[in-house]
């Protein structure tokens, strides 16, 4: 199991806190009880990503899934814990080794309109990173960019255009081409199909499946859309308020969700109905991560919550082969 | 009995510098009292503009250039602003995609709700406030008295959308037009809003037009579906029929494009190409360049042909009725 683990997320935590402004600092010196507000965006997550798999990361807004994705891609350092890429702690690498590791893991963003430089031609957007990092020489550049454009299903002659001259689906492809240009083997896709129309979304999802085979890629697929994640992933990790609540084989997890939150999510995947459906809503809202409830974060909304859930944080433990879940109910059942 | 809403050959065009964009080009449908219609299409299909046209909310350079919108016997196109003024917010209400855009950020919720009540009815402030409170309770906002005194930014996204729904409900309208009201919300919150609107419509007999790009969301809610493409309705019928046996190749393509788990990891059936620009529409059938069934015949423009008394489709080569996509 350990040898095919490409990325190990080990007890990673990310806290954001606001800096006090001058008035607040002064007030504090004078004895006022003002503390900086801290948000636990990601709260001690441990997770292995196997080589060649697609790991889906789902959760609702504010659950920390994007923050985790950004930490994996090296865009923001974790406050605590380690991220090991092929056994090496990314944060401790120096010089060339650090640069190489950073190039191996690339990120594809949700909105290509804000992640692509509007004033650069697409061939420069794609070609800049490989040129700077010496992956391709200046002379081979034109051919290299054309190759990548063809790989993602764009006409190679479109390289001279600017991002605004593409449709939404094509821009998503440019974003993918940009990430592929530095020959990564791990892609973090953050809501990469969320903004697309259904028919275009299918095209881009198919492209992800094809590229995975062509380039032997590993994906971490971050999305709020359980239907999409179920389709593309081998394994699914479900997050709620910064914590991992369930992890398992994609098909099995959807078919037999263990955690009450996963059960609720699965029941709410919109499906095609040929009769009227009565929507069963989970009560309540997602609590603010600034002030999470004690014990199990889900207990105020959980239909099965009991006393223990209100005080003790459930640990993520194995409940079946290849399935982890963080719920006290698993103990009482046993 | 007359239908509640009858739209006939609606034309809404946008006159831009680059040419005329026919955002809505000959849309006709009827809606009975208490019925839920799902208006489905991708971006640029004209589904939202159809909804805006009914309430006269199309801004220049757009303009309704033809057709008739009969609401309970009144023609809203011919009647113009004076006719609409009495109906907007009173008998027809609209819920928009982004409640942050519809609520005034500098006014408290109670001010905005009281204003809505008193715009149409000559009631005291106290009575208006009582009605506002009642509406908040109806959409499940608690505690209502405290929340009435809040500003929009103090609510979460789902709560804001509920406030918008509460405002729409103030006058117990006959028709609610909802334009992608759950697109910006999380799934658990989406389910809450769907279940609430479903109960509200069932209990009050309000008709609903639900505009969305997501066939799956609307399939559990709507009585009838109308699928739009490039400004036209290309298929219409009872929800169960359209979902289980789509006749138009585009509807079928849409249903096939949605990941549905059963074909895990496999390639999705995709519709090739992309939605055409409204300024450069192809001749004949607008779906022809992307259609797997197209041939020479499709170079002529198909019309919306009734198949049964309930269903119609705009296609020369519709799929066979016997082919089922979904097993019930």
Q: Does residue B289 sit within a domain?
A: yes
In chain A, residues with a C-beta closer than 8 Å to the C-beta of B192 are 279, 281-283
Q: State phi, psi for A274 to the nearest 5 degrees.
A: -105, 0
Chain A CB within 8 Å of residue B184 CB: no
Q: State phi, psi for B238 to the nearest 5 degrees.
A: -60, 140
Where are the strands (E) in chain A, listed by range?
5-17, 38-50, 54-58, 80-85, 88-89, 105-108, 186-190, 218-223, 235-240, 243-249, 317-320, 323-325
- Give the helix/strand (H/E) hosting A29: helix A22-29
Contact A283, A238 (CB under 8 A): no
Q: Does residue B11 sit within a domain?
A: yes
Chain A CB within 8 Å of residue B28 CB: no
Residue whose C-alpha is closest to residue A198's, from B256, B235, B220? B256
Q: Does residue B324 sit within a domain?
A: no
Q: Which of residues 246-305 of B touch A (CB under 8 A)?
A: 253-261, 263-271, 274-275
Mean pLDDT, chain A, whole residue set? 87
- Closest alpha carbon within chain B to A274: B240
Residue whose C-alpha is closest to residue B51's, from B38, B65, B35, B42? B38
- Closest alpha carbon within chain B to A250: B264
**Across the interface, do A209 and B156 touch by the CB < 8 Å criterion?**
no
Q: Among the three residues B170, B193, B222, which one is the final residue of a domain in this structure?
A: B222
Q: Confidence band (pLDDT; 50, 70, 90) for A334? A: very low
**Across the interface, do B258 and A198 touch by the CB < 8 Å criterion?**
yes
List all residues 6 or more positions away from B67 whose beta carbon is below 8 Å from its beta carbon: B7, B8, B9, B10, B11, B26, B27, B28, B77
Sign of the CA dihedral running B285, B288, B290, B292: positive
CA dist B185 and A268 (Å) reads 13
Q: State phi, psi for A164 to the nearest 5 degrees.
A: -70, -15
Of the candidates B194, B253, B264, which has its C-beta nearest A251's C-beta? B264
Sign of the CA dihedral running B230, B231, B232, B235: positive
Range of the domain at B302: 228-313
Weakest-pLDDT range from A40-54, A165-179, B165-179, B267-281: B267-281
Q: What's the count of helices (H) and strands (E) in chain A, helices before strands?
A: 13, 12
In chain A, residues with a C-beta closer than 8 Å to the C-beta of B214 are 198, 270
Count of domains forming chain B? 2
pLDDT tens digits, one per residue of A145-191: 999 999 888 888 888 999 988 888 888 899 999 999 999 999 999 98
**Secondary structure (3-state) at A265:** helix
Of the candidates B157, B261, B328, which has its C-beta nearest A274's C-beta? B328
In a shared domain, residues B50 and B193: yes
Closest chain B C-alpha to A38 CA, distance in angstroms: 19
CA dist A71 and A74 (Å) reads 5
* pLDDT number for residue A1: 46
Q: Confidence band (pLDDT; 50, 70, 90) for B232? A: very high
Residue whose C-alpha is closest to residue A64's, from A47, A87, A85? A47
DSSP class of residue A234 equals: S
Question: For residue A60, what are its two tokens?
Answer: 């609702």
Q: Does residue B320 sit within a domain?
A: no
**Across the interface, do A285 and B215 touch by the CB < 8 Å criterion?**
no
* pLDDT number for residue B161: 87
Residue with tokens 């519809």: B102
Q: Decide if the complex's ipTM is over 0.85.
A: no
Q: What is the mean pLDDT of residues B314-323?
A: 81
**Across the interface, do B271 and A202 touch by the CB < 8 Å criterion?**
yes
Of the candidates B43, B195, B214, which has its C-beta nearest A270's C-beta? B214
Of the candidates A209, A228, A276, which has its C-beta nearest B267's C-beta? A209
Helices (H), chain B: 47-54, 76-87, 99-102, 109-120, 125-138, 144-148, 157-169, 187-204, 215-219, 239-244, 249-257
Q: Using alpha carbons only, how large is chain B's radius of gyration in Å?
A: 21
- Closest alpha carbon within chain A to B261: A231
* pLDDT number for residue B201: 81
CA dist B152 and B100 (Å) reads 7
Task: Identify the residue with better confidence: A217 or A195.
Answer: A217
Q: Does residue B129 sit within a domain?
A: yes
In a shared domain, residues B212 and B304: no
* pLDDT number for residue B326: 53
Q: Among the three residues B222, B249, B270, which one is the final residue of a domain in this structure?
A: B222
Q: Which of residues 33-92 of B touch A (CB under 8 A)?
A: 42-43
Residue whose C-alpha is closest to residue A301's, from A278, A315, A281, A317? A281
**Secondary structure (3-state) at B25:** strand
Residue whose C-alpha is closest to residue A247's, from A235, A255, A256? A235
CA dist A273 and A275 (Å) reads 5
In a shared domain, residues B26 and B47: yes
Q: Confidence band (pLDDT; 50, 70, 90) for B327? A: very low
pLDDT at A267 over 60: yes
**Across the interface, do A274 and B240 touch by the CB < 8 Å criterion?**
yes
Closest chain B C-alpha to A234 CA, distance in angstroms: 8
Q: What's the count of helices (H) and strands (E) in chain B, helices before strands?
A: 11, 12
In a shared domain, residues B105 and B242: no
CB atoms closer than 10 angstroms to residue B21: 22
Q: Does residue B66 sit within a domain?
A: yes
Q: What is the mean pLDDT of residues B207-222?
A: 88
CA dist A194 and A210 (Å) reads 19
Q: Does residue B216 sit within a domain?
A: yes
The CATH number for B131's domain is 3.40.50.300
Q: Confidence band (pLDDT; 50, 70, 90) for B328? A: very low
**Across the interface, do A198 and B257 touch by the CB < 8 Å criterion?**
yes
Helices (H), A167-306: 168-180, 198-215, 226-232, 250-255, 260-267
Chain A CB within 8 Å of residue B202 CB: no
In a shared domain, residues B190 and B283: no
Task: Identify the residue with better confidence: A154 or A61.
Answer: A154
Weakest-pLDDT range from A239-243, B2-6, B270-274: B270-274
**Across the interface, do B191 and A282 touch by the CB < 8 Å criterion?**
yes
CB atoms closer than 10 angstroms to residue B14: 19
In chain B, residues with a C-beta closer than 8 Å to the C-beta of A274 are 219, 239-240, 243-244, 326, 328
In chain B, residues with a C-beta closer than 8 Å to the C-beta of A199 are 42, 253-254, 257, 270-271, 274-275
CA dist B84 and B78 (Å) reads 10
CA dist A168 and A164 (Å) reads 9
Task: Identify the residue with better confidence: A298 or B138.
Answer: A298
Any idea how long chain A is?
Answer: 334
In chain A, where the domains are located: 5-270
Contact B211, B180 (CB under 8 A): yes
**Across the interface, do B188 and A234 touch by the CB < 8 Å criterion?**
no
**Secondary structure (3-state) at A287:** coil
Of the candidates B214, B265, B274, which has its C-beta nearest A167's C-beta? B274
**Across the interface, do B257 and A201 touch by the CB < 8 Å criterion?**
yes
CA dist B11 and A266 (Å) reads 41
CATH 3.40.50.300 fits A5-270, yes or no: yes
Q: Does residue B205 sit within a domain?
A: yes
In a shared domain, residues B71 and B209: yes
CB atoms closer than 10 angstroms to residue A70: 20
Of the candidates A202, A274, A285, which has its C-beta nearest B257's C-beta? A202
Q: Which of residues 135-164 of B touch A (CB under 8 A)?
A: 156-159
- Closest alpha carbon within chain B to A254: B261
CA dist A333 and B29 (Å) reads 55
In a shared domain, residues B186 and B143: yes
Q: Report whether the peptide linkage leading into residue B143 is cis, meaning its omega lies within 30 degrees of zero.
A: yes
In chain B, residues with a C-beta closer than 8 Å to the C-beta of A197 are 42-43, 213, 275
**Secondary structure (3-state) at B276:** coil
In a shared domain, residues B157 and B240: no
DSSP class of residue A259 equals: S
**Across the interface, do A228 and B259 touch by the CB < 8 Å criterion?**
yes
Q: Among the three residues B205, B222, B239, which one is the final residue of a domain in this structure?
A: B222
**Across the interface, do B188 and A286 touch by the CB < 8 Å criterion?**
yes
* pLDDT number for residue B322: 62
Closest chain A C-alpha to B132 CA, distance in angstroms: 22
């Amino acid at each position: 199991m350990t040898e095919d683990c490409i990325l190990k997320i080990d007890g990673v935590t990310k806290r954001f806190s606001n800096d006090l402004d001058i008035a607040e600092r002064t007030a504090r010196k004078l004895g006022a009880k003002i503390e900086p507000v801290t948000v636990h965006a990601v709260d001690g997550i441990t997770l292995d990503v196997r080589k060649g798999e697609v790991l889906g990361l789902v959760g609702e807004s504010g659950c920390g899934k994007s923050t985790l994705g950004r930490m994996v891609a090296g865009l923001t350092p974790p406050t605590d814990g380690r991220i090991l890429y092929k056994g090496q702690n990314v944060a401790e690498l120096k010089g060339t080794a650090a640069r190489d590791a950073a190039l191996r893991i690339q990120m594809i963003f949700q909105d290509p309109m804000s992640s692509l430089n509007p004033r650069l031609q697409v061939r420069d957007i794609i070609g800049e990173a490989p040129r700077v990092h010496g992956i391709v020489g200046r002379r081979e550049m034109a051919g290299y960019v054309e190759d990548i454009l063809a790989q993602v299903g764009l006409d190679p002659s479109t390289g001279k255009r600017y991002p605004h001259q593409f449709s939404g689906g094509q821009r998503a492809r440019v974003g993918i081409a940009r990430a592929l240009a530095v020959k990564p083997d791990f892609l973090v896709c953050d809501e990469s199909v969320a903004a697309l129309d259904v028919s275009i979304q299918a095209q881009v999802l198919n492209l992800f499946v094809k590229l995975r085979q062509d380039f032997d890629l590993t994906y971490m697929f971050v999305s709020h859309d359980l239907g999409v994640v179920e389709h593309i992933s081998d394994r699914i990790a479900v997050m709620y308020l910064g914590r991992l609540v369930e992890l398992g084989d994609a098909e099995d997890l959807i078919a037999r969700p263990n955690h009450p939150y996963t059960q609720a999510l699965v029941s709410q995947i919109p499906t095609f109905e040929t009769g009227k459906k009565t929507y069963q809503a989970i009560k309540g809202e997602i609590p603010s991560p600034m002030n999470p409830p004690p014990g199990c974060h889900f207990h105020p909304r959980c239909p099965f919550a009991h006393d223990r859930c209100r005080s003790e944080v459930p640990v993520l433990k194995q409940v079946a082969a290849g399935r982890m879940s963080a719920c006290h109910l698993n103990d009482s059942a046993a | 009995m007359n239908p509640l809403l009858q739209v006939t050959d609606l034309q809404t065009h946008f006159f831009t510098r680059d040419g005329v964009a026919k955002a809505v080009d000959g849309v006709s449908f009827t809606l009975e009292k208490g019925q839920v219609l799902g208006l489905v299409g991708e971006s640029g299909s004209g589904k939202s503009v159809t909804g805006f046209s009914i309430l006269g909310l199309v801004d220049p350079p757009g303009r309704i250039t033809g057709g008739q919108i009969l609401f309970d016997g009144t023609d809203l196109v011919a009647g113009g602003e004076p006719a609409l003024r009495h109906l907007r917010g009173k008998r027809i209400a609209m819920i928009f995609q982004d409640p942050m855009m519809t609520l005034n950020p500098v006014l408290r919720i109670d001010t905005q709700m009281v204003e809505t009540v008193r715009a149409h009815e000559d009631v005291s402030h106290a009575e208006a406030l009582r009605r506002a409170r009642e509406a908040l309770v109806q959409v499940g906002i608690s505690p209502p008295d405290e929340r009435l005194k809040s500003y929009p930014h103090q609510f979460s996204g789902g709560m804001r959308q509920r406030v918008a729904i509460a405002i729409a409900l103030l006058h117990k309208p006959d028709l609610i037009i909802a334009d992608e009201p759950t697109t910006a919300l999380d799934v658990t919150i989406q389910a809450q809003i769907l279940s609430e609107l479903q109960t509200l419509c069932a209990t009050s007999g309000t008709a609903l037009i639900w505009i969305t790009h997501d066939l799956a969301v609307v399939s559990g809610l709507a009585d009838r579906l109308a699928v739009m493409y490039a400004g036209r309705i290309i298929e219409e019928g009872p929800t169960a029929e359209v979902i289980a046996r789509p006749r138009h190749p585009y509807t079928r393509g849409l249903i096939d494009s949605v990941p549905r788990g059963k074909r895990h990891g496999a390639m999705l059936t995709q519709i090739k190409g992309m939605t055409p620009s409204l300024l450069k529409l192809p001749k004949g059938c607008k779906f022809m360049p992307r259609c797997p069934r197209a041939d020479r015949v499709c170079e002529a423009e198909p019309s919306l042909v009734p198949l049964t008394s309930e269903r119609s489709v705009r296609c020369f080569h519709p799929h066979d009725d016997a082919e089922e996509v979904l097993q019930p």
